[in-house]
Structure 1
Amino acid sequence: MLPRLTSNQTTHQTIADFLDTLKKSPFTGEIRGDLASRLVASTDNSIYQILPQAVVFPKITEDIQEIFKLANHSSFNSITFSPRGGGTGTNGQSLSPGVIIDCSKYMNHILELNLDAGWVRVQPGVILDQLNQYLQPHGVFFAPSLSPSNRATIGGMINTDAAGKGSRIYGRTSDHILSLNWVLPDGTFGTSSAIAKKRLNDFKNSSSEPLSKIYQTIDDIVTSKQDLIESIFPKMTRFMTGYNLAKVYNSDRTVFDINRILSGSEGTLAVITEAKLKLTNIPQKAQLLVLHYASFNDALKDAEYLLQFEPAAIETVDDKILELVKQDNLYCEIKAFIGDAKAINLVEFIGKNQEAIQDKINPIIKSLGQAISYYLTDNKTEINQLWKLRKRGVELLANMSGDRQPIPFIEDTAVPPSHLATYTQELQQLLAQYNLNYAMFGHVDVGCLHVRPALNMKSLDDEKLIRELSDQVVNLVHHYGGVMWGEHGKGFRSEYTPLFFGEELYQDLRKIKAVFDPYNKLNPGKIVTPYASSDQIFPLESPLKGQFDRQVSPNLRSQYQAAFRCNGNGACFNFNPDEIICPSAKQTRDRIHSPKGRAMLLREWLLLKSQVDTSRSRVQGLLNFPLKCWNTLGKWWGVPDYSHEVYEGMHGCLSCKACVSQCPIQIDIPAMKAQFLQDYHSRYWRSLRDYLTAYLETSAYWQADFPTLANTITKNWILQEAIKKLLGIVDLPAVSINTVKQELAKRKAPNFNLDQLSALTALERKKSVILIQDALTSFYEASLVVDTYDFLTNLGYRVYIAPFFINGKPLHLKGFLDQFEAVAQKNIAYLKKLSSLDIPLVGIEPSIVLTYRDEYSKISDGKEISNKVRLLQEFLLEQDSVLPQLSKAKSYYLLGHCSEKSLAVNSQKQWQEVFEKMGISLILVSTGCCGMAGIYGHELDHYDTSQGIYQSSWEKHLPSTPEERTYFLVTGYSCRAQVKRFSGWTPEHPIQSLLVELRDCLSTKS
């Protein structure tokens, strides 16, 4: 039996009192002091883990002012704060032991667009891709291009002065800021923009003393230290991030802009609440040249040569990433473009016309430099796919095998491009001395190199290398006139700041910190501490994830291995509603309900389990019953148990399986959820709803024998309300009135007899197919099973319908793993027998068919049958010689099932191929999750979320008129049921439309 788990990581009393007082104030946002919320905010994409005391989610600027006004009360003046954006930082910039201010959940609106003046005004929680999708129809974009663009917030980009692809031309985020609104830690509201120097005195003489001091101090420093700043700051595109003294004045010193100080300040000076951003015209023409190299060093050597042709960007990818991408879904899209290269340079050219671009490319193609071959494209889809490879470089690294994983800590060094090759060779020699595996990639056009040595952070010996290697790399990069932080900020590497700024300017940085934040309340310990303060910078040896993970017993780490492989890259924070990864995270905007969040909850849960003597919890036989009753009563009475917080996080998961393929580390949250639920319910009783869900297949089987009675009962209003209140289930589906048995009898379908099937000749087997039934289609959409039978029969197949047997998927979903395994073992034996007949086995419902490949494959002997049951489209393509040629001018549109798109990544394209082979156009519609996900959408506590998920993607892509609806097809039962529920009509399955077209063709010929 699972023991009760409690954590000693309770909120300090001062913080608890602060939160209680804040709740009674005019603050309108959300306040979270629970351990789960704190844990999710305790990590980012770095090696560190710092547990905050609380997380607050403001909704308006005044909320942030209210926070600070209250925090300046004498009772709370020890509390510190750290603003947080997308949580994608690689150096722990937003990690803090104080209170996290997260603007991403509510302050995420695009406020105003002025195309004539060329700007857009946004809140800090707006995501880069969200902004650029909004701007794209207007022919403009916000130019900084980041790898995590689908989850990086504008506020986070400002706080790290983010740069990325194309920064040699477009510069950094700070180069595109027109004005900022911000709040100081005393609650003072400020706004800043570039001002003429002659107006500077107006700001120095501001009636607001804090603002007056800020302008006075910054001007005094950048004016009196002009020569020193000029001599110390490197002349590179990737200069030092944060407190950028060199850019406060423009080149002729006529314009003064403190946004250059705020940008890259990592939330240490003020909390950004709004930004007006400069817009850039989208390039009219673009070509991407993929240069193939025999080695990574050859690619680096070519960088300076390629720069003379003025590309917009040069990005290098090494052999480690090119090898890892072969394990990723992306590979099938790009393999023809990268060939057998050991390294590539992606060289992009942009311009107003193709001729001008081609003039730059032709000399490169003619000589090739160090390259051995190339691929050139102006196709937008191909260009996007190749840039996706570069964007996913960091994410793919987490798939390296072994305990040692590539990690960021010498992540973004930058040197003048002319020194890059030599510097890199010395860096490689340094890493070779430690026998370390590593991956390298980067923006070679600006000399910025991303390198991630592979270390096991659960090992004390490897942990020591963080300091040892960092010190040596700092000296090496300084020797070559570079910087330690070319892109990803300082964070817990801030102790190296004096080396690059010099002691005199370092003290000036502290003076700037002091006028913004004299009491060190904002993100303390990062970049600098206030002048004359005794506070210290956080050391490099701050708490690491590995220090916590190593405390978990090896056995538990093995059981939940995927949770420990999560590196925090945050790909599951993807905002795009038309991409399938984590619908619960998108809809709730609660990071707990993301794969990363759930992995964090599990890691803490396993840590607590490892600290408890579980031998005391081993109870047998009759003792289980009264103890579970007592424990369940305690749960209702509010007896604390951290397992409840994990349960809430897991309960929000749709088990859609998108994380299995869309997460670069392929974290299977639904599988770990099932494991957790089994363990959780060893202590607490399950709800009656769980039992009904788990045995849904069996109940549907019996309902199908009495469909009219079953539907009368489930559609009775009084019973519906009773079911809703007692079980928390809504919108139960109706079983099919005309059953599969009845319809097959009308067609005189062949009986299913194993002896008769065994006696078939080889030729007869070739023209036969066995259709494996599933509960969803057989009992709730019997017409689909019959239509599939008719279609295959019309193609000349003799179709045998196997007797129905439960698949066990619902058992697995609810964590009845022992029962699931028993069902699966029985089915595996049966499917082995069927597959031995050498007759194709085909299933209709993707979620059921793919259970044989996914969950069954993890059970003894399961791999033997994992690919024996084919999806319909897979079977049809394998038998394409029998597909008739039809002609249809009108195109169909296909919306796919989440699990199908994730677990069978080519499934939608396969349907497209089937249609094309039959002379029909099929357009694939990019959608996220429909929000139903089996039973999830029928659970009352998920109803609103389910509807919101549907409305955010599917509803927007579906037609409104009956005429158009005919041409929209949906592969999954859950998805069709969701459309019927919220849009009032039921789309057809692709096979049903093909049957209609086939019958039309046959009737025309006859």
Structure 2
Amino acid sequence: MKDHVDDHEAATVTAFLQALGSRGFKGQARTSRAVRVVTATDNSIYYREPACVVEPKSTADICAALAAAAAVGLPITARGGGTGTNGQSLTGGVVLDTSRFLNRILSFDAETATVRVEPGVVLDQLNAYLKSRGFFFPPAVSTGSRATLGGMVATDASGKGSRRYGRTSDYLLSAEVVLADGSTAHVGDLPAEAPLPGGPLGTVAGLLRAELAGQAEEIARVFPVMNRGLTGYNLDELRGENGALRLTKLLAGSEGTLAVTAELELRVVRLPKCTGMAIIGYADSLVALGAVSDLLPADPEAIEFLDDVTVGLGKTTPSWPLLEPVLGAELSRCGGYLFAEVSAETPEEIDRQLAVLEAAVAAGQTPAVGIVATRDREVMGALNGLRKDAVGLMGKGNGPFKGMAFVEDAAVPPENLVAFVAGFRDVLDSHGLDYGMYGHADVGCVHVRPLMDMRLPDHRDKIRPISDAVAELAHAQGGLIWGEHGKGVRGEYVEYYFGPRLFAFLRRIKGAFDPANLLNPGKLVTAEGTDLPVDRIDAIPFRGARDQLIAGHGAYGKATECNGNGACFHWDAANEMCPSYKATRDRVQSPKGRAALFRDWLHARETDGDVQEAADALHVSLATCLSCKACTSQCPVQVDIPTLKAQFLAETEEAKRGPRDRLIRRMEGLTLLAARMPGLANASLALGQGVMARVMGLVDLPAFDRTGLTRRMQEAGARRLAPGQPLPAGVKPEQAVILLCDSFLGPFEPQVLEAAARVMIRMGYTVFHTPVLRNGKALQVRGFLGAFGKVKACAIAELQKLNATGLPLISVEPAATMLYRQDFKDMPEGLMPLSLDRFLAAHAAELPKAAGGAFRMIGHCTETSADPGNLTRWKTVFEGAGMALQTERAGCCGMAGMFGHEAEHRALSKQIFELSWASKVAEGQGRLLATGFSCRSQAERFAQVDLRHPVQALEEAFAAG
């Protein structure tokens, strides 16, 4: 495992960078320890540090990078979404990352149903663009939120629905590529009568014209007759009509070993107007797989399956509360599930197809436990989310045993699937391993991730025998060890599957493209005439061996659980996951990047490495973390970077605390004091703006409410109740509540608390309110964990006293509500306050009826990521009041408590706001609501718009009525 760059490699990298600069490269080239560590992993079991990471901004930049690499003899490997499960883009040379800057959709033609894209465009990004135009790109991979089109071409990716829609190569019309020498070429169909192009591509085309026909018999013998095929160097599909060469079929699946894609021309198809789904439960997974033949006559678009292990893990996700009532008690306990999907142009046709499916299940040879059919978009979205999350959920595993990707995408002809899975189970059982299974039953592709602890040497020793056994089993059943996720280091099995004759032909093709083995060397095949070996599955350093050295660090244990699935690289700005990554597209500034740097810091401490260098790199990365905690809930394995950050700051920053940190340590108490004198406090803030910015590094601090909490609550008719104070005589507990006044709304926006009190009084409740309660949020974020512990203990004691009244405790501000839920983990059972939306939704029938009105609302990012049901509950509340509410997600507003007020982060805070919030605020036209105090502050700061809390809109409507 490489922890440093040796002198020879450093000299080569320096020469490469000089050559790069001389060729007019305008992208970024980085050699820092941080970027190399972050790029050393993907979603595989391996760890391989590159020498340099290059991020091109244009085709010319790619040409410059490849030409420079060729000039100094430095290997170069293209990287897309970084989600490969087999080390496809891991290298000791240069990583060429197209995801950061080359992510534009260049053109779309509805008449020809074609789109041109740069290789870094993400699948879901493309489909979101196409959806409004009535089209979509069919290959559906579970990592669609971060998988790039360049990466999908590289692995010839497919996924759900491939029985009908095929693989990525079926939609690749042409590509502009850069060859190993830095020259460009156009790859498309080459008619038989067309002259050969110049350069390496002409050499390849000449070789294929001369010898491909002679290999036809061997190709027919070797290539399996199945949906997946021997993807990569797709020899069986190279010959088109009338002798044309379909060169895109050669490129697709070649994993960057032949050329680097710079632009892609893709075919797209019309989007069906309606969809439906049937969920069928069976006794166990083998029974479910055996039932696939029962469903095929109904011709669904796709048949997926999940086993009970995977669904059991899915029950820990935020989507499960929506799914459980849909499935019901009996189906929720099944041991195997099939998900059959249909599509059509009308709801009536969907209903007909679902009825055909239900009849097929009833008449099938295999008994089902039950079936639920639906065309509810929300339910189908949750079910699809469960399936998409299966990869990450298996990574969550069981304690130290995590689902490991190395034999996870084998495929066989569907009629052999039951026998194959039974044999697969026998292999894993013989090694004493548990596992989960899911996949594409209709095309015989099964995803299996054995639960292993790769920090254990004996578990690492199982990789070879299990892989060899599965390769032989799949071959015996007419299939492949790789059916969907590409080959990567499993390229060592290429010769076994292709046979010596075709393998030699592949080496000749590789040699024509890349005679010096500079493009992703060691993967799939190596050039004829060279002695470079193909990588072996157990000769690349295992990530687990590195993690073994840092085992036992309980406070940072979650960092080692990051499996590289890349969910934090989500492309959509309206998604809450990691705003710092979305704004910068720098993977060092992502949860995965930060987890990798945590591991590197721990590794340096245990191995006498450069601890200070590792700590500095980690500190720089953590500085842009907003502590929004979206990763805590949206990461499939719940890697909680803000909590790790707080621990790191507590351990490393005490001696470095400056004036701002010392102020923040006392800020909550000072805030409560200043709120008693709002006029003086505001005047002091106005006069001291320059000092606060220069000395404390704080800008745009909010003004205190001049009316004050006490007066507003008195005018609303609410009564003050301090913790420990008994309830007044005559209060009916069933008709009374306690409103918790937090240190965000209480001093700065008590009008929201006032509106909440007025609404609940209108509902017939006696409302008591607390004084402003301290919660210590800023202390926790900044790593003052000792002080936070004291504030937390005091807060819990106050809540216990209030809870002793027997009245519901209602929390309004999402930041405070989520702090209770996520960071007061030692809260006694039954003490957790209710969020306002939970209380109002449960009592929606008691709401007064308003004159109507339609509103839009954006939820607070921390809350919507951990509890997406809060959006639905607010809709229920407005419907109960006779009003309409359209809820939407906008990601992070960029404020995140103190982060947006820190002078050095103001620009990034604004950049994050402009990703999604700015346009939604501009479109709001007075009807846009926001639940978060930070969100409303940010809209006022950067858009000069005063947003209201939804409870304010309710109260104003009630007052007007």
Pair in the same fold by TM > 0.5 = yes
Partner of 1:635: none
Partner of 2:454: 457
- Does 2:27 match 1:29? yes
Larger mean Cα displacement after TM superposition, 648-657 or 84-93: 648-657
Task: Tell me the amino acid that sits aligned with residue 726 of structure 1.
Answer: V
Q: What pairs with 1:15-164 in structure 2 (closer than 5 Å)?
A: 15-23=13-21, 25-73=23-71, 76-77=72-73, 79-164=74-159
Instruction: Provide the secondary structure at the position in 2 that maps to 1:924.
Output: strand
How many aligned positions are there?
Answer: 949
The question of whether the paired residues in 2 share the 8 Å contact of 1:284 and 1:352 is answered with yes
Moved over 6 A (4+): none
Partner of 2:258: 269
Deviation at 1:584, TM superposition (A): 1.2
Deviation at 1:246, TM superposition (A): 0.8
Partner of 1:649: 621
Pairwise CA RMSD: 2.2
Instruction: Provide the secondary structure at the position in 2 that maps to 1:713.
Output: helix
- Does 2:468 match 1:504? no
Task: Tell me the amino acid that sits aligned with residue 126 of structure 2.
Answer: L
Deviation at 1:888, TM superposition (A): 3.5
Partner of 2:709: 740
Deviation at 1:7, TM superposition (A): 6.0
Partner of 1:522: 519
Instruction: Provide the secondary structure at the position in 2 that maps to 1:100.
Output: strand
- Does 2:837 match 1:869? no
- Deviation per CA, 1:651-685: give whole Å up to 9, x if none: 11111111121111111111111001111214x41
Provide the rounded CA distance (Å) in 2 between the counterparts of 1:742 and 1:915: 28
Deviation at 1:594, TM superposition (A): 1.5
Instruction: Provide the secondary structure at the position in 1 that maps to 2:948.
Output: coil
Task: Tell me the amino acid that sits aligned with residue 819 of structure 2.
Answer: T
Provide the rounded CA distance (Å) in 2 between the counterparts of 1:396 and 1:787: 41
Partner of 1:910: 873
Deviation at 1:999, TM superposition (A): 2.2
The question of whether the paired residues in 2 share the 8 Å contact of 1:897 and 1:972 is answered with yes
Instruction: Provide the secondary structure at the position in 2 that maps to 1:105.
Output: coil
Instruction: Provide the secondary structure at the position in 1 that maps to 2:626.
Output: coil
- Does 2:363 match 1:349? no
Provide the rounded CA distance (Å) in 1 between the counterparts of 2:717 and 2:485: 69
Partner of 2:934: 974
Partner of 2:595: 599
Deviation at 1:997, TM superposition (A): 2.3
In 2 relative to 1, CA 285–864 (structure 1 residues): closer, same or farther, beyond 3 Å? closer
Partner of 2:161: 166
Deviation at 1:955, TM superposition (A): 2.1
Task: Tell me the amino acid that sits aligned with residue 559 of structure 1.
Answer: A
Provide the rounded CA distance (Å) in 1 between the counterparts of 2:176 and 2:939: 43
- Does 2:812 match 1:844? yes
The question of whether the paired residues in 1 share the 8 Å contact of 2:597 and 2:614 is answered with no
Q: Which among 677, 686, 695 is matched to residue 715 of structure 1?
A: 686
In 2 relative to 1, CA 57–321 (structure 1 residues): closer, same or farther, beyond 3 Å? same
Provide the rounded CA distance (Å) in 2 between the counterparts of 1:393 and 1:613: 36
The question of whether the paired residues in 1 share the 8 Å contact of 2:279 and 2:339 is answered with yes
Q: What pairs with 1:459-498 in structure 2 (closer than 5 Å)?
A: 459-498=456-495
The question of whether the paired residues in 1 share the 8 Å contact of 2:70 and 2:518 is answered with no
Partner of 2:541: 543
Q: Which among 177, 180, 185 is matched to residue 185 of structure 1?
A: 180
Provide the rounded CA distance (Å) in 1 between the counterparts of 2:882 and 2:622: 45
In 2 relative to 1, CA 363–836 (structure 1 residues): closer, same or farther, beyond 3 Å? closer
The question of whether the paired residues in 2 share the 8 Å contact of 1:774 and 1:845 is answered with yes
Deviation at 1:892, TM superposition (A): 2.2
Larger mean Cα displacement after TM superposition, 379-388 or 84-93: 379-388
Deviation at 1:571, TM superposition (A): 0.9
Larger mean Cα displacement after TM superposition, 39-48 or 842-851: 842-851
Q: Which among 6, 12, 15 is matched to residue 14 of structure 1?
A: 12
In 2 relative to 1, CA 152–749 (structure 1 residues): closer, same or farther, beyond 3 Å? closer
Provide the rounded CA distance (Å) in 2 between the counterparts of 1:494 and 1:788: 62
Partner of 2:673: 702
Identical positions, percent:
36
In 2 relative to 1, CA 329–743 (structure 1 residues): closer, same or farther, beyond 3 Å? closer
Partner of 1:686: 657
- Deviation per CA, 1:856-901: give whole Å up to 9, x if none: 21xxxx32177432222223345556x2330443222221111222
Instruction: Provide the secondary structure at the position in 2 that maps to 1:212.
Output: helix
Deviation at 1:368, TM superposition (A): 4.0
Task: Tell me the amino acid that sits aligned with residue 308 of structure 1.
Answer: P
Task: Tell me the amino acid that sits aligned with residue 385 of structure 2.
Answer: K
In 2 relative to 1, CA 91–80 (structure 1 residues): closer, same or farther, beyond 3 Å? same
In 2 relative to 1, CA 666–755 (structure 1 residues): closer, same or farther, beyond 3 Å? closer
Larger mean Cα displacement after TM superposition, 692-701 or 465-474: 692-701
- Does 2:244 match 1:255? yes
Larger mean Cα displacement after TM superposition, 52-61 or 134-143: 134-143
Larger mean Cα displacement after TM superposition, 235-244 or 719-728: 719-728
The question of whether the paired residues in 2 share the 8 Å contact of 1:854 and 1:866 is answered with no
The question of whether the paired residues in 2 share the 8 Å contact of 1:184 and 1:269 is answered with yes
Deviation at 1:796, TM superposition (A): 3.5
In 2 relative to 1, CA 43–266 (structure 1 residues): closer, same or farther, beyond 3 Å? same
Provide the rounded CA distance (Å) in 2 between the counterparts of 1:694 and 1:756: 29
The question of whether the paired residues in 2 share the 8 Å contact of 1:853 and 1:866 is answered with no
Deviation at 1:50, TM superposition (A): 0.6
- Does 2:311 match 1:322? yes
- Deviation per CA, 1:781-807: give whole Å up to 9, x if none: 132233333333333433333233421
Provide the rounded CA distance (Å) in 2 between the counterparts of 1:563 and 1:52: 21
Task: Tell me the amino acid that sits aligned with residue 575 of structure 1.
Answer: W
Deviation at 1:755, TM superposition (A): 6.7
Provide the rounded CA distance (Å) in 2 between the counterparts of 1:514 and 1:836: 78
Task: Tell me the amino acid that sits aligned with residue 703 of structure 2.
Answer: A
- Deviation per CA, 1:564-594: give whole Å up to 9, x if none: 1111111111111111111111111011121
- Does 2:780 match 1:812? yes
Partner of 1:220: 210
TM-score relative to the length of structure 1: 0.91
Structure 1 residues not aligned, in runs of 5+: 1-5, 615-638, 1002-1006
Q: What pairs with 1:910-949 in structure 2 (closer than 5 Å)?
A: 910-949=873-912
Provide the rounded CA distance (Å) in 1 between the counterparts of 2:467 and 2:729: 70
Provide the rounded CA distance (Å) in 2 between the counterparts of 1:640 and 1:24: 34
The question of whether the paired residues in 2 share the 8 Å contact of 1:105 and 1:589 is answered with yes
- Deviation per CA, 1:403-453: give whole Å up to 9, x if none: 111111111111111111111111112222222101111111111111111
- Deviation per CA, 1:232-269: give whole Å up to 9, x if none: 1111111012111111112x553211111111011111
In 2 relative to 1, CA 230–246 (structure 1 residues): closer, same or farther, beyond 3 Å? same
Deviation at 1:195, TM superposition (A): 2.5
Q: Which among 638, 657, 662 is matched to residue 666 of structure 1?
A: 638
Q: Which among 439, 447, 454 is matched to residue 436 of structure 2?
A: 439
Partner of 1:727: 696
Task: Tell me the amino acid that sits aligned with residue 942 of structure 2.
Answer: F
Provide the rounded CA distance (Å) in 1 between the counterparts of 2:952 and 2:343: 46
TM-score relative to the length of structure 2: 0.95
The question of whether the paired residues in 2 share the 8 Å contact of 1:416 and 1:481 is answered with yes
The question of whether the paired residues in 2 share the 8 Å contact of 1:7 and 1:608 is answered with no
- Deviation per CA, 1:281-316: give whole Å up to 9, x if none: 112443322222111111111223322332221111
The question of whether the paired residues in 2 share the 8 Å contact of 1:688 and 1:727 is answered with yes
Deviation at 1:911, TM superposition (A): 2.2
Deviation at 1:360, TM superposition (A): 4.6
Structure 2 residues not aligned, in runs of 5+: none
Deviation at 1:384, TM superposition (A): 2.7
Deviation at 1:127, TM superposition (A): 0.4
Partner of 1:617: none
The question of whether the paired residues in 1 share the 8 Å contact of 2:738 and 2:767 is answered with yes
The question of whether the paired residues in 2 share the 8 Å contact of 1:852 and 1:865 is answered with no
Deviation at 1:850, TM superposition (A): 2.4
- Deviation per CA, 1:766-823: give whole Å up to 9, x if none: 3333332222211111322333333333334333332334211000111111111121
Provide the rounded CA distance (Å) in 1 between the counterparts of 2:652 and 2:639: 20
Provide the rounded CA distance (Å) in 2 between the counterparts of 1:791 and 1:95: 58
